[in-house]
């Protein structure tokens, strides 16, 4: 396990559940926040006409996400203090499980090597704030299935899930900080 794992906190959940908004609030409060792989990869792949898109080549998309998440982990190792990740390596395994695909051995190894704090914050599906957009093409039913696949994956890999309440961003931020011993 990484020496950094205790200060690396994941915020995960299905699409459109408020993860990125919470990470941005934590950044504004002075914490380091790492961006979600999926959205950036989709945006970049669309811009360059690449095939690494979930609706074109889900395996390539998963590999690109894994690469992004490992790179982000290494970047976070160069920082000090608490770091919040908008998803992580385990999410890639959850994505493949959602698709009914086996998780390749190298991804299983990555999950074992790149560990985060054992307490993971998970945002449950929240229909009133769910929106589709250019990068988020999933419907709400798929957001629910994604959440379920993530719960299974995180539990499989030995993480303790802490469900985020469906409250304002400020209240969610306070909820997280109280549980990690922050401000």
User: pLDDT tens digit string along 34-68?
Assistant: 999 988 999 999 999 999 999 899 999 999 999 99
What does pTM read for this prediction?
Answer: 0.92
Euclidean distance between CA atoms 88 and 101, whole angstroms: 18
* In the chain, where the domains are located: 5-180
Task: Please choose, from the candidates 76, 51, 49, 72, the residue with its C-alpha nearest in 3D space to the C-alpha of residue 62.
Answer: 51
With a cut of 70, say whether residue 140 has pLDDT above it. Answer: yes
Please state which CATH class domain 5-180 belongs to: alpha beta
CA 88 to chain centre: 5
User: pLDDT tens digit string along 93-108?
Assistant: 999 999 999 999 999 9
Beta-carbon contacts of 58 under 8 Å, excluding residues fewer than 6 positions away, are 95, 96, 99, 101
User: pLDDT tens digit string along 5-40?
Assistant: 999 999 999 887 889 999 999 999 999 999 999 889
Backbone angles phi, psi at 9, to 5 degrees: -110, 130
Decide if 75 contacts 97 (C-beta within 8 A): no
**Which spans in the chain are helix H?**
19-28, 37-48, 58-77, 89-98, 105-113, 140-156, 169-180
């Amino acid at each position: 396990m990484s020496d950094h794992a205790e200060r690396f906190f994941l915020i995960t959940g299905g699409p459109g559940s408020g993860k990125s908004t919470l990470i941005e609030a934590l950044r504004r409060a002075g914490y380091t926040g790492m961006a979600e792989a999926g959205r950036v990869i989709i945006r970049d792949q669309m811009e360059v006409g690449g095939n690494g898109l979930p609706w074109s080549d889900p395996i390539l998309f998963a590999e690109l996400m894994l690469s992004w998440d490992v790179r982000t982990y290494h970047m976070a190792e160069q920082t000090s203090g608490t770091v919040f990740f908008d998803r992580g390596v385990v999410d890639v395994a959850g994505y493949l499980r959602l698709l009914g695909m086996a998780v390749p051995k190298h991804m299983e190894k990555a999950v074992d090597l790149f560990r985060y704090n054992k307490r993971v914050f998970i945002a449950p599906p929240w229909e009133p704030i769910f929106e589709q957009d250019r990068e988020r093409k999933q419907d709400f039913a798929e957001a629910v299935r994604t959440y379920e696949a993530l719960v299974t994956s995180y539990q499989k890999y030995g993480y303790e899930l802490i469900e985020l309440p469906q409250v304002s961003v400020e209240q969610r931020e306070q909820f997280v900080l109280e549980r990690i011993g922050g401000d």
